[in-house]
Amino acid sequence: MTFQDLKLNGAMARAAAAVGYTAPTPIQVRAIPPILDGRDIIGCAQTGTGKTAAFVLPIVQLLAPARGKRHIRVLVLAPTRELAAQIDEEFGKFSRQRGLRHVAIFGGVGQQPQVDALRRGVDIVVATPGRLQDLMNQGYIKLGNVQHFVLDEGDRMLDMGFIHDVKRIIKTLPRARQTMLFSATMPQAIQELSKSMLTAPVKVEASPQATTVEGIAQSIYFVESGDKRALLKSILNDPASQRVLVFTRTKHRANTLARQLNRAQIAAEAIHGNKSQSARTRALAQFKSGKTAVLVATDIAARGLDIDAVTHVINFDLPNIPESYVHRIGRTARAGASGIAYSFCDVNERKYLREIESLIRQPIEVVAEHPYASALPAPAPAPARKAASSGNRRRRPRRRR
């Protein structure tokens, strides 16, 4: 299967090849043809599956080169600044040769450069809801000419409390438009939103909802809370731990853990919502370049970040929302690569583990022999969620020897 088989024209197929896209991914195979046909789309896909290019490539092909005054013809809403910047970067790879202009609109930075770009005229806006509404209220953005609207990471929008902002923005869009909704999971609120914003949509799915990415070796370490830091250091001192993303439940814990790792001569940066945009951008750049081996993050980094060659994801704290586990570990094993996910579980987190295993419909392998193993017995596995079929009988976790 080639990109031209998906109805992309020769120029777009060559542009895809030029940036290293040798063959379309499953979500691209399923999404690109109906988007090119002008259909509305519901896309269920985990991050790391090529989802962004699945809508960027056909949208750029559909847009005619601008003539005269430019109007915003494409609007993409993303839940976080980092994801908005990455989507904007993806548009940048393919839009220049078509003479199209694009801009990322998000908070945490001064608005003047964004306003200046809007005044010069843009075809494509990638935005977070808050800053978009600010600039709309100030009269800098008008959406009456939008032809293509993409709501990316719909479930994350819901989790972050943006759903009402999204609904207000949608009301300002033309009724005659193409709409694309992408979401890793489809909670009830997102299903209801899709019915109100989409017309006869085509549903495309690259992997079962709320399942873990294939190619990730998952393990659980039962450990006392006070021993977690020592266990983490022992893992990070392994030469195989080359680029590691560590997740904590709170911003304070992320800051503290990053400082402690640096004192132990392990280069680490923290990233979370209280960091300024410049600090977050700098921390990501250091991590992507390899100057920092460890990035300690809250769930702000669990979705949408496209970081190559993450060898390990470590859940220092298990998330209290089981779906977050899926999104966290999806930062490794991207684009067909393999990866490793370790999770630390103290006695107070056992209930979170049961919910995670119920969601992913499989037990996570227990590492029974390690220097900081908890003296408490391993918990009994949780029953599978009702959504699981009766054929998915749970088996006892295998123990690593």
Give the β-pairing of 202-205 and 41-44.
parallel
CA dist., res. 276 & res. 106, Å (int): 12
Are 150 and 77 in contact by the 8 Å Cβ rule? The answer is yes
- Sheet of strand 124-127: strand arrangement: 102-105, 124-127, 74-77, 148-151, 178-183, 41-44, 202-205
**226, burial (CB in 10 Å: exposed 0-12, middle 13-18, buried 19+):** exposed
CATH architecture of 216-366: 3-Layer(aba) Sandwich (3.40)
Phi, psi values for residue 234, rounded to 5°: -65, -35
For the chain, which residues make up each domain, given as ranges? 4-205, 216-366
Are 298 and 159 in contact by the 8 Å Cβ rule? The answer is no
pLDDT in tens, the chain (401 residues): 889 899 999 989 998 988 888 889 899 999 999 999 999 999 987 666 789 999 999 999 999 888 888 999 999 999 988 889 999 999 999 988 788 999 999 998 899 999 999 999 999 999 999 999 999 999 999 999 999 999 999 988 988 889 999 999 999 999 999 999 998 888 888 999 999 999 999 999 875 444 556 678 999 999 999 999 999 999 999 988 989 999 999 999 999 999 999 999 999 999 987 888 788 888 888 998 889 999 999 987 666 566 778 899 999 999 988 878 888 888 887 656 678 999 999 999 999 999 999 888 889 999 988 999 987 555 555 554 444 333 333 333 343 33
pTM of the model: 0.68
CA dist., res. 279 & res. 248, Å (int): 18
CA dist., res. 62 & res. 159, Å (int): 32
Answer yes or no: same fold for 4-205 and 216-366.
yes
C-alpha torsion sign, points 321, 323, 325, 330: negative
CA dist., res. 360 & res. 384, Å (int): 9
CATH of 4-205, one of 3.40.462.20, 3.40.50.300, 3.50.50.60, 3.40.50.1100: 3.40.50.300
